[in-house]
């Protein structure tokens, strides 16, 4: 949409425009037409000043100034005119391939709702650390600090801060490890690993930054063991930092390797969580550029990785054990299709109904196949999928 507006007011072809100039014009137009609190004069002047600061030639400075002033004179009507004439997927700010597949699967109204959700910043959601606080106590601390807060919709430890925009580290209780930032849908995934039993052995096979690892660690019964596998050095460091801040470092054995490098000789696990690498098309609102960097080929590529991880996990799971598979994608190739292919190859696994292991409020999020399935933006949730499989 922004490029279409540039094209309407510029005699210089977009394809021949310097990337720096194009980006400056996009930012300026965005401020002019979408930011209510930025005066038009400030949007123009600041953008032109930025172009000067980048040491662009004078003719480009003048060009930027001229285009932005023309857009400012036209006001928001030009935005409405442009959107009216755009193809549906462009008006919805979504690549055609993704828009069309959602349209076929969900219908027009739901697809447009998904597109709108992708362009809205998500509310900040916290998961209370039950070893150090309670939702009631954290809500009271937020109220005392003048921060709008309310309980989550589905997850028992969730607290929503719908209007907070500052650094998370400035929130009451951050330094004391009273909470971790985590979407409610992700919190529900961890609950599918439960019930955790005394002296049980548990594995987070794709630990990442530690959101679900720390959740499981907080729920860990006496004498139970939790192993977290993470090969990436940067994520590994953040995982350790999060666990230490929450006071959970001593509850988790961290293994710096791929899941394939974990040997079953140390003993099999009673439950394994595979929060698999995926396209992330359920969390576009957190990573807005991902819609443009993903392609249908990526879905097939991720699917192969996901099936490989599930097969590796199956070999590490004890008889009667539980394997939870999750993605932050809403695409069937990474979700239903992966589970179906895995079950076809592993006849000694059965699906179990996710709803049995979730709070009553969250059971409406479980479909007829027993899968946990959330859509982005609906009830302020991210888009997630999870299946709970049991080894016979």
Residues 173-232 have pLDDT tens digits of: 999 999 999 999 999 999 999 999 999 999 999 999 999 999 999 999 999 999 999 999
d(C-alpha 259, C-alpha 235), whole Å: 15
Mean pLDDT of 30-57: 91
Average per-residue pLDDT for the chain: 95
Of 274, 281, 354, 351, residue with least CA distance to 314: 274
Using DSSP's 3-state secondary structure scheme, residue 308 falls into helix
Which pLDDT score, from 0 to 100, does residue 13 have?
86
* Catalytic residue list: 328
DSSP states along 321-380: EEEEEEES---GGGTHHHHHHHHHH-TTEEEE-GGGGS-GGGGGGB-TTS-EEE-TTGGG
Which pLDDT score, from 0 to 100, does residue 206 have?
97
In this model, does residue 86 exceed pLDDT 90? no
DSSP states along 193-217: TPPP-TT-EEEETT-TTSHHHHHHH
d(C-alpha 332, C-alpha 363), whole Å: 21
For 118: left if phi > 0, alpha if psi spans -120 to 50, otherwise beta; the answer is alpha
Which pLDDT score, from 0 to 100, does residue 49 have?
95
Which pLDDT score, from 0 to 100, does residue 263 have?
81
Of 346, 326, 333, 329, residue with least CA distance to 383: 329
The pair of structure tokens assigned to 216 is 């499981």
Mean pLDDT of 154-182: 97
Give pairs for 134-138: CB < 8 Å, separation 24+. Answer: 135/159, 138/172, 138/173, 138/178, 138/179
In this model, does residue 266 exceed pLDDT 80? no
Higher pLDDT among residues 265 and 93, named by residue: 93
Which pLDDT score, from 0 to 100, does residue 227 have?
97
Are 316 and 272 within 8 A, CB to CB? yes
Which pLDDT score, from 0 to 100, does residue 225 have?
97
pLDDT cut 70: percent of the chain above it: 100
In this model, does residue 265 exceed pLDDT 80? no
Higher pLDDT among residues 68 and 264, named by residue: 68
Mean pLDDT of 326-338: 98
Which pLDDT score, from 0 to 100, does residue 4 have?
87
Mean pLDDT of 44-65: 93
Which pLDDT score, from 0 to 100, does residue 236 have?
96
d(C-alpha 239, C-alpha 234), whole Å: 9
């Amino acid at each position: 949409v922004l490029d279409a507006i540039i094209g309407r007011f510029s005699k210089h072809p977009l394809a021949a425009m310097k990337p720096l100039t194009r980006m400056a014009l996009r930012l300026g137009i965005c401020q002019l037409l979408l930011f209510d609190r930025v005066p038009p004069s400030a949007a123009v002047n600041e953008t032109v000043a930025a172009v000067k600061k980048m040491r662009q030639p004078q003719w480009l400075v003048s060009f930027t100034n001229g285009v932005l002033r023309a857009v400012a004179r036209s006001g928001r009507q030009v935005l409405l005119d442009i959107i009216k004439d755009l193809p549906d997927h462009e008006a919805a700010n979504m690549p055609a391939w993704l828009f069309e597949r959602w349209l076929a699967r969900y219908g027009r109204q739901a697809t447009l709702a998904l597109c709108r959700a992708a362009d809205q910043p998500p509310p900040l959601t916290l998961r209370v650390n039950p070893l150090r606080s309670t939702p009631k106590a954290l809500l009271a601390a937020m109220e005392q600090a003048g921060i709008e807060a309310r309980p989550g919709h589905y997850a028992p430890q969730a607290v929503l801060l719908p209007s907070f925009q500052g650094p998370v580290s400035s929130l009451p209780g951050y330094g004391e490890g009273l909470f971790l930032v985590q979407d409610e849908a992700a919190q529900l995934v961890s609950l599918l690993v439960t019930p955790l039993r005394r002296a049980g052995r548990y594995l987070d096979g794709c630990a990442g930054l530690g959101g679900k690892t720390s959740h499981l660690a907080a729920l860990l019964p006496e004498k139970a063991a939790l192993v977290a596998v993470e090969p990436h050095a940067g994520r590994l460091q953040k995982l350790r930092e999060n666990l230490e801040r929450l006071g959970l470092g001593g509850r988790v054995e961290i293994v710096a390797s791929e899941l394939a490098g974990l040997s079953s000789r140390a003993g099999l696990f009673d439950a394994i969580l595979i929060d698999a690498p995926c396209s992330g098309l359920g969390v576009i609102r957190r990573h807005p550029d991902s819609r443009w960097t993903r392609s249908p080929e990526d879905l097939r590529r991720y699917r192969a990785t996901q099936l490989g991880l599930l097969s590796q996990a199956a070999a590490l799971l004890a008889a009667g054990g539980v394997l939870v598979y999750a993605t932050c994608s809403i695409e069937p190739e990474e979700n239903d299709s992966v589970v179906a292919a895995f079950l076809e190859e592993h006849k000694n696994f059965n699906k179990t109904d996710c709803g049995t292991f979730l709070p009553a409020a969250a059971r409406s999020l479980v479909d007829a196949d027993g899968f946990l399935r959330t859509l982005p933006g609906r009830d302020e949730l991210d888009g997630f999928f999870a299946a709970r499989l049991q080894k016979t």
